[in-house]
């Protein structure tokens, strides 16, 4: 989905106006992650797999200070560091993020077992 709603292209399956998708659509599923392999945002890893023909490459740890997370509520792009430190709430608009996403950080970012940068 591109257009006036988001400042960056968001690709996926059934993406709504706040970046929810067919796979994750709770009220708190309002983030999209940027993948290093295609430099595009997707609401989830499954959307990436469904919409591309290549293996996902996680966002590299040496680029955690680059924008790589999009808040679907306020459209702010966050660095990975800021996102990982936000305690499941957008630091710009205060909307709640799904805490369950923390279980998938290793699918999006180069992080260690503790979910922190390597």
Q: What is the pLDDT of residues 45-68, one digit of tens each?
A: 999 999 999 999 999 999 999 999
The whole model's pTM is what?
Answer: 0.90
> 112 pLDDT exceeds 80?
no
User: How much is the average pLDDT of 31-37?
Assistant: 96
Residue written as token pair 């989830």: 44
CB 40 within 8 A of CB 11: yes
Residues 6+ apart with CB under 8 A from 13: 21, 22, 23, 46, 47, 50, 51
What residue ranges do the domains of the chain occupy? 31-108
């Amino acid at each position: 989905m591109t257009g006036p709603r988001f400042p960056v292209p968001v690709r996926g399956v059934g993406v709504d106006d706040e970046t929810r998708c067919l796979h994750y659509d709770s009220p708190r599923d309002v983030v999209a992650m940027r993948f290093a392999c295609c430099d595009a945002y997707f609401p989830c890893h499954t959307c990436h797999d469904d919409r591309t023909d290549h293996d996902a490459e996680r966002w590299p740890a040496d680029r955690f200070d680059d924008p790589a997370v999009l808040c679907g509520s306020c459209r702010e792009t966050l660095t990975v560091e800021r996102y990982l430190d936000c305690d499941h709430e957008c630091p710009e608009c205060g909307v709640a993020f799904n805490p369950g996403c923390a279980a998938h950080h290793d699918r999006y970012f180069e992080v260690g077992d503790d979910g922190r940068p390597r």
